[in-house]
């Protein structure tokens, strides 16, 4: 089965990770991102056989660590993160490269839907309780509707895990990007949704609104198609909802299947964020009613 992307460069099989038979994904994608001006660490050396890479030190502190200790820097650093994101997206449109792994894969309906099944399996049934058949069928239907809505959003190059723990800050206050080896073609809302609705950090609504406005202004001035604020912000929220539900399932999976119980410490924040989004997305009212009992409460 293949997903055919509207961008003629992309026609890739459905899979979750890049092939590394001939080159490490981090090397391949990092080289491309550097070419389009995204601040990524320089590769000093790489051993393909041993999957070993020696990287430039771009900064020893994560953006998340900086703002935890100096919250007054939050606005400045997040504005820089938005600027970098627009550079990544605009560069992928004006300077595409079919040899870059990120242009050979698509984050489309099959993967989006699989991630929501992951939430249903681990985030609900293996965490809380098995569902009656009729409830499970209704939930699957609503999650399918969410997946279709997100898949309909125009696609562009995305980092896929763009948030404060994957952004580093050096002593001069410059922001750099890491953990980009799973970059691929996907919804243009995905990375900004990941940044603003972080699984580990809460941003206030005023700052989120300001950052979306900045993003939209920059993307237009960078030659990307303009977007209406209200419509685009709702698409961001839908994308963030899908991602947060996926994260709930993933955290439970890592705790139960990979013996990493510390991930469960983050569940309360993620569940709260997902519930807040559901309260503010009228088109997801049916999903809210179905999933709310399994997200509320300490033991949910």
Within a domain: residue 300? no
- How many folded domains does the chain comprise? 1
- Long-range contacts from 62-66, C-beta under 8 angstroms, 24+ separation: 62/164, 62/165, 62/166, 62/167, 62/168, 62/169, 63/164, 63/165, 63/167, 63/168, 63/169, 63/175, 64/163, 64/164, 64/165, 64/200, 64/201, 66/169
pLDDT at 130: 80
Structural domain that includes position 288: 12-294
In 10 A of CB 211, how many CB atoms?
Answer: 20
Q: Which residues pair with 283 in a beta bridge?
A: none
Residues 228, 184 contacting (CB under 8 angstroms): no
pLDDT at 45: 75
Residue 112: which CATH number?
3.90.1200.10
pLDDT at 18: 61
Rounded distance between C-alpha atoms, residue 54 and residue 1, angstroms: 36
Evaluate if pTM is beyond 0.75: yes
Helices (H), the chain: 25-35, 63-69, 74-94, 109-118, 133-151, 190-196, 205-221, 229-257, 267-279, 285-291
**What averages of pLDDT result for each successive group of 10 residues across the chain (300 residues)?**
34 51 85 96 74 74 95 98 98 95 93 93 84 91 97 97 96 94 96 96 96 98 97 98 96 92 91 95 95 73
Residues 6+ apart with CB under 8 A from 217: none
Residues 245, 288 contacting (CB under 8 angstroms): no
Within a domain: residue 6? no
Within a domain: residue 153? yes
First to last CA, the chain: 37
pLDDT at 2: 31
pLDDT at 5: 38
- Smallest CA-to-CA distance from 60 within 45, 47, 41, 46 is with 41
DSSP label of 36: T
Residues 6+ apart with CB under 8 A from 205: none
Residue 107 in tokens: 């984050």
Within a domain: residue 3? no
Within a domain: residue 2? no
pLDDT at 8: 35
Radius of gyration of the chain (CA): 19
- Smallest CA-to-CA distance from 26 within 2, 69, 62, 55 is with 55
Within a domain: residue 38? yes
Within a domain: residue 7? no
Within a domain: residue 299? no
pLDDT at 36: 97
The full DSSP string for 63-128 is HHHHHHH-GGGHHHHHHHHHHHHHHHHHHHHHS--TTSGGGS-B--HHHHHHHHHHIIIIIIITTT
């Amino acid at each position: 089965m293949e997903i055919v992307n509207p961008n003629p460069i992309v026609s890739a099989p459905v899979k979750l990770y890049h092939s590394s038979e001939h080159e490490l994904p981090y090397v391949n994608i990092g080289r491309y991102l550097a070419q389009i001006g995204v601040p990524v660490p320089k590769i000093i050396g790489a051993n393909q056989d041993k999957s070993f890479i020696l990287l430039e030190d771009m900064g020893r502190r994560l953006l998340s660590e900086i703002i935890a200790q100096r919250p007054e820097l939050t606005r400045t650093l997040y504005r820089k993160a938005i600027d970098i994101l627009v550079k990544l997206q605009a560069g992928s449109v004006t300077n595409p490269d079919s040899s870059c792994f990120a242009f050979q894969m698509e984050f489309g309906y099959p993967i989006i839907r699989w991630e929501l099944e992951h939430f249903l399996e681990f985030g609900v049934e293996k965490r809380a309780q098995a569902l009656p058949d009729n409830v499970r069928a209704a939930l699957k239907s609503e999650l399918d509707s969410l997946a279709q809505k997100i898949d309909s959003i125009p696609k562009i190059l995305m980092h896929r895990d763009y948030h404060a723990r994957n952004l580093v800050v050096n002593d001069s206050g410059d922001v750099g990007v890491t953990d980009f080896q799973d970059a691929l073609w996907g919804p243009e809302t995905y990375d900004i949704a990941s940044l603003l609705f972080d699984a580990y950090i809460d941003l206030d609504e005023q700052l989120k609104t300001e950052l979306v406005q900045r993003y939209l202004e920059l993307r237009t001035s960078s030659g990307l198609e303009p977007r209406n604020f209200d419509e685009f912000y709702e698409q961001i929220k839908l994308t963030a909802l899908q991602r947060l539900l996926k994260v709930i399932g993933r955290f439970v999976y890592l705790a139960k299947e990979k013996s990493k119980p510390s991930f469960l410490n983050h569940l309360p924040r993620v569940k709260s964020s997902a519930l807040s989004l559901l309260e503010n997305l009228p088109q997801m009212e049916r999903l809210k009613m179905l999933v709310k009992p399994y997200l509320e409460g300490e033991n949910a």
